Amino acid sequence: MRDILKNYIDGAWVASAGVDTRDIINPATGQVSGRMALSTAEDVKRAVAVARQAFAGYSRTSVEERATLLNRIAEVHEARAEDMAQAVTLDIGMPIAFARMTVGAGTGQFRFLAKAIGDYPFALVQGGTRIVKEPIGVAGLIPPWNYPSLQSAEKIAPALAAGCTMILKPGTPYTNQVLAEILDEAGVPKGVFNLVNGRGSVIGMAFSRHPDVDMIAFTGSTGVGIQVQKDAAETVKRVSLELGGKSPHIILPDADFEAAAKGAVAKVMSNSGQTCAAPTRTLVPRAHKAELEAMIRTAAEAIRVGDPLTDVDMGPVANEAQWHTVQRYIQSGIDEGATLLAGGPGHPEVADEGWFARPTVFADVRNDMTVAREEIFGPVMSLIAYDTVDEAVEIANDTPYGLAAYVDGSDDKTVQDVASRLRAGQVILNGAQPDLQAPFGGYKQSGNGRIWGLAGLEEYLETKAIVGV
């Protein structure tokens, strides 16, 4: 049993003002692994007051001081990498090899920004005006639970680099406990980073409505993001939102079908489908439909599901509620007439406990079906046939979301043309690996603002014009 009963405020571990706790469930076993304190709005008020006081000093630190701090964090982060990877797996059931990779990507966020801010133009002169970029203030950080190491780092690192102070509402308990320990060991000044555990409906709302919180950085579902923006509107604070997706993957008629099929399945099923940018709508040329369906079915049936601490491709979904949500969507696909190509309802044969789902692929999906319209956040893939490239682009863009899109094809001119027509914040070509220095964020109902790279840093900066220099 590992209990998470204290918050990290003003450089110390302190008891919550609340008395309630909730059980922490290991998704791989369905058993209780610990307890977490459910903090209150009073805990948020205390953390915000501390962060506001610390901002006066930290916002005036030099770029060199902040770069040195970020590099120290990266060193400690790397030294504690295995502790954090184990925590990720315990929190959400991510396979340990994948967890280690995401932890390394989190380390990279701190290293990248330590280097990048040395060259960033925090001040420049245009004509008779000096334009300066200054830290926005106190940031309320609300990362999700699905990539807990990386998605906390992608908010904390740019906030620190910009000169902001912050309060984090963790998406998961164990991973973020380790992260707070790392920041403490690295010497983050008191009050600059604070952590308050609890329910998003309580802590997130308190962040969004607090007049001394200058911005909210939220990653999560579109519905919750809308509420965050509404709650923040009364104090006119900046809100950066990275929200849901129903990303298309267009396999062009001249693509390497074998590579595209395997890549499509891997991208959907990794992390049990709990990836906002997962290409859950795979668009296949009708003339090659049967061939691609066979390849995709074979790839899906080869996914190894099991204990995430072993060498598997897919662990459980994160919790019981998510498992039941996935089951409802699978049943809706069957009820609406899609063809079940692989997987289906229930637990896989290899798992008799925990919240494991079956890697599921539907064929003969129409773009108006529920499985093609709504974000499932589980290992469910929909195959949609098209006749022309123009029709594929039209289907791809026919969604309220616009987070990511994928294109596979051998003719570079066609691939680039298709990419230019897709309404998405990031387009990945021919199985390219993620670039965590490239801006990431969504069009339409997939959010506002960007994370990663210099665009992520700029979310935490204000622009001031000093006229008459």
Check whether 45 has a pLDDT greater than 90: yes
Q: What is the pLDDT of residues 106-122, one digit of tens each?
A: 999 999 999 999 999 99
What is the mean pLDDT of the segment spanning 307-321? 96
Helix (H, G, I), strand (E, B) or coil at 229: helix
DSSP lists the bridge partners of residue 466 as: 130
Query: Which residue matches tokens 């014009």?
Result: 465
* Angle between helix 173-186 and 148-162 (nearest 10): 30
Per residue in 264-300, pLDDT (tens digit) is: 999 999 999 999 999 999 999 999 999 999 999 999 9
pLDDT of residue 350: 77
Q: What is the mean pLDDT of residues 321-337?
A: 98
Does 242 qualify as catalytic in the annotation?
yes
Say what percent of the chain tops pLDDT 90. 97
Model confidence pLDDT, tens digit, residues 151-195: 999 999 999 999 999 999 999 999 999 999 999 999 999 999 999
Task: Inform me whether the pLDDT recorded for 99 exceeds 90.
Answer: yes
DSSP single-letter state for residue 444: G
CA 116 – CA 45 distance, rounded (Å): 33
Q: Backbone phi, then psi, for 66, in 5-degree steps?
A: -70, -35
Phi-psi region of 30 (alpha: psi -120 to 50; beta: other; left: phi over 0): left
Level-2 CATH architecture, domain 6-243+445-467: 3-Layer(aba) Sandwich (3.40)
Q: Which of 242, 293, 375, 459 is catalytic?
A: 242
Quote the pLDDT of residue 445: 97
pLDDT in tens, 184-234: 999 999 999 999 999 999 999 999 999 999 999 999 999 999 999 999 999
In the prediction, which pLDDT does 161 show? 98
According to CATH, the superfamily of the domain at 248-435 is Aldehyde Dehydrogenase; Chain A, domain 2 (3.40.309.10)
Six token digits for residue 252: 């062009």
Per domain, the residue ranges of the chain are 6-243+445-467, 248-435
Mean pLDDT of 243-262: 98
- pLDDT surpasses 90 at 469: no
Mean pLDDT of 319-342: 98
Is 50 a residue whose pLDDT tops 80? yes
351 pLDDT higher than 80: no
Q: State residue 23 phi and psi, 5-degree precision.
A: -70, 145
- The span from the CA of 454 to the CA of 133, in Å, is 13
pLDDT confidence tier of residue 349, bands split at 50, 70 and 90: confident
Q: What is the spatial distance between Cα 441 and Cα 219, in angstroms, rounded to a whole number?
A: 10
pLDDT at 407: 98
Task: Render pLDDT for 429-450 as a digit per residue (tens, 0 to 9).
Answer: 999 998 989 999 999 999 999 9
Percent of all residues in the chain with a pLDDT value above 70, rounded to a whole number: 100
Q: What is the pLDDT of residue 1?
A: 73
pLDDT in tens, 253-269: 999 999 999 999 999 99
**Which H/E stretch holds residue 321?**
helix 320-335
Residues 6+ positions from 217 with CB-CB distance below 8 Å: 139, 140, 141, 142, 155, 159, 240, 449, 451, 459, 460
Phi-psi region of 396 (alpha: psi -120 to 50; beta: other; left: phi over 0): alpha
**Tokens matching residue 345:** 């309802």
